[in-house]
Structure 1
Amino acid sequence: MVKVRTKDIIEKFGLELIAGEEGINRPITTSDISRPGLEMAGYFDYYPAERIQLIGKTELSFAEKLNNSERQIRLERLCTDITPGIIVTRGLDIPEEMIEAAERESVPVLRSKQKTTRFSSLLTNFLESKLAPTTAVHGVLVDIYGVGVLITGKSGVGKSETALELVKRGHRLVADDCVEIRQEDEDNLVGNSPELIEHLLEIRGLGIINVMTLFGAGAVRSYKKISVVMNLELWDPKKQYDRLGLDEERMKIIDTEVTKLTIPVRPGRNLAVIIEVAAMNFRLKRMGMNAAEQFTNRLSDVIEDGDHDDR
């Protein structure tokens, strides 16, 4: 499925369509942008034709110094059957040779009033967000004290009910049931809710509730970086659960590893409070304060002191 087409950036940035209207449905497959300075100079050996071509004052002023024949040939070679678009910045005048070539090859030629560097940054950020690798996870995403907590577990284990209790305690719901996740860079996962179920929670026996309507706009947010995964599972008496917190389990989502905590569920355990405290403890660890390590070190000191006394 094509994520971004040339017409999407026209609408996003309010670009002026100068030529090549037939090509506005061309797919954009990479967030990389090309500034074809070398191509203007005649070097096309490594021309990245599949990228958006961004032309500013430098490239156009160089093109003006070329003779008519050279300018026509080089501007024609910029327009290929896979080029998603050519964008001219600063509201500059566009050479007729480029307009004619773009019409023949159906390459959209667009114009922006913004400065080249500024527009390049905005366009790159937009394309990286839209073209980032994505996946969907069954779970609940909640913002707890600024920590994005993805709550996972089998159906019926109590994820949504826990999220409701967390919202009542002042935290913010991002997504329930289905969390759409995109990898914005190597170690940055951002989760959001599908538009259809945004702000909604499904509580068995109660049905679907609108969190924003019930608790206000401060109880929800549109997206959040995922920092930790907390997996709820029914208590297994045969399983040894981590009691100190020294063993850090990791979970891979797309290409990014995040910390994973396994929280056993059984009657009498207040899951909302446990998850809330786990989120606070995670923040402390990131600040360099690890209670489990401190306890272990103190225990080691006591044992060593005891050995010295025995001597």
Structure 2
Amino acid sequence: MSKVTIKDILDKFKLELISGEDGIHRPVTVSDISRPGLEMAGFFDYYPEDRLQLLGMTELSFLSKLNEEDRKFRMQRLCTDVTPGIIITRGLDVPEELIEASEREAVPVMRSPLKTTRMVSQLTNYLELKLAPTIAIHGVLVDVYGVGVLITGQSGVGKSETALELVKRGHRLVADDCVEIRQEDQDSLVGNAPPLIEHLVEIRGLGIIDVMTLFGAGAIRSYKRITMCINLENWDQTKRYDRLGLDEDTMKIFDVEIPKLTVPVRPGRNLAVIIEVAAMNYRLKRMGVNTAQQFTQKLQETIREHDD
């Protein structure tokens, strides 16, 4: 189901509703915006009727040059039973033929004082954000040194306790237990907490803790771009863990792959410090410094020198 209706757009952009009030609960299912220039000229073969339609000065000026019969016919074709709504920009006068057709088909016609290009830009950004693919993942999201770290692992492995320790060390909590993740563009994942558990952490033995109340507004974030994933798992003596950092595993969410590290958990390991170092090391790699590769190169050079 769509997350956006025409009423949401009316409220968000403070648009003036001209006609078609019966259709304000129509869903908006695509983020693309249409400026029906060819349709004004009578070509409806490829009319994208499921998009929001924007009429600016160019479209309305052309429409005013047509005879009354053509104006009526084209406005009737413009207003279909699936068209979510029509927006008139620049505060221009709305043609009577459009008002009549919109009332007949219950297609909301709205007006904005903004220029057409500005309206298209703002609408597109808003719809792409609201209609982005979304998934919920069991885990914790923390902002560590500006790096969005998604902490995953089985229930009871210590994710929430680790997040609480990171908050105590000056980092910021985004979400605990459940992280809602949306793909905002081709290579960007943004996570946030569901409204019900925003700013809250569950610690077994203590219960629910309000991080913002305890540590202040600087200890939380509403959302954060996810940059890497750290998976916590109970120590398995039979498993071989990466000790150099050369193995680069990834985690795929939607179409985006992010680096993934597996950190074994056992008594005595300071997971908060490990995650801090992992975040700093990730930033170093982004700046072109790969310690594991440098060490390996030096080791190979030393071996070659010894053999010679």
Q: Please give the TM-score of this superposition, normalised by the length of structure 1.
A: 0.98
1:103 maps to 103
Q: Partner of 1:130 in structure 2?
A: 130
Question: Deviation of residue 255 (structure 1)?
Answer: 2.1
Task: Say whether residues 1:54 and 2:54 are aligned partners.
Answer: yes
Cross-structure match for 1:306: 306
Give the whole-Å Cα distance in 2 for the aligned partners of 1:37 and 1:298: 64
User: Structure 1 counterpart of 2:159, which letter?
Assistant: K
Question: Does residue 1:45 correspond to 2:45, yes or no?
Answer: yes
Task: Give CA deviations for 1:243-280 in whole Å, capped at 9, x if unaligned.
Answer: 01111101111221111100000000000000010011
Aligned residue for 1:304, secondary structure, equals helix
Give the aligned partner of residue 88 of structure 1. 88
Number of equivalenced pairs: 308
Cα drift, residue 102 of structure 1? 0.2
Q: Which string of whole-angstrom CA distances, capped at 9 and with x for unpartnered residues, describes residues 33-72 of structure 1?
A: 0000111111111000000001111111111111111111
Q: 1:155: which partner in 2?
A: 155
| Deviation of 1:187 (Å) | 1.1
* Secondary structure at 1:30 match in 2: coil
* Alignment partners' CA distance in 2, 1:102 and 1:44: 17
Whole-angstrom distance in 2 between the partners of 1:278 and 1:61: 59
What is the aligned partner in structure 2 of residue 183 from structure 1? 183
- Looking at structure 1, the residues matched to 156 and 227 of structure 2 have their Cα atoms a distance apart, in angstroms, of 24
- For residues 189 and 60 of structure 2, what CA distance do their matches in structure 1 show? 39
Give the 3-state SS of the residue equivalent to 2:278 in structure 1.
helix
Q: Corresponding residue for 2:27? A: 27
2:200 aligns with 200
Cα RMSD (Å): 0.7
CA offsets per residue over residues 226-249 of structure 1, 9 Å max, x none?
Answer: 000000000000000000111110
Please state whether the residue corresponding to 2:141 is helix, strand or coil: strand
Unaligned residue ranges in structure 2 (runs of 5+): none
1:263 aligns with 2:285: no
Question: Is the contact between residue 2 and residue 131 of structure 2 (CA under 8 Å) also seen in structure 1?
Answer: no
Aligned partner of residue 142 in structure 1, secondary structure? strand
Q: Letter of the aligned partner of 2:97 in structure 1?
A: E
How far the C-alpha of 1:301 sits from its partner, in A, is 1.1
The CA deviation at 1:303 is 1.4
Distance 1:26 1:91 in 2: 23
How is 1:135-146 mapped onto 2 (pairs within 5 angstroms)? 135-146=135-146
Match of 1:70 in 2: 70
1:304 and 1:22 map into 2 onto residues whose CA distance is 80
Sequence identity percentage = 74
- Aligned with 1:97: secondary structure? helix
Q: Deviations over 1:204-225 (max 9, x none)?
A: 1111111111111000000000
Secondary structure of the residue that 2:28 maps to in structure 1?
Answer: coil
Provide the C-alpha distance between the structure 2 equivalents of 1:93 and 1:306, rounded to a whole number of angstroms.
85
CA distance in 2, matches of 1:119, 1:184: 20
TM-score (norm 2): 0.99
The CA deviation at 1:307 is 2.3
Q: Find the aligned partners of 2:67 and 2:2 in 1 and give their Cα distance.
A: 40
Q: Which runs of 4+ in 1 moved over 3 A?
A: none
Distance 1:49 1:232 in 2: 48
SS at match of 1:302: helix
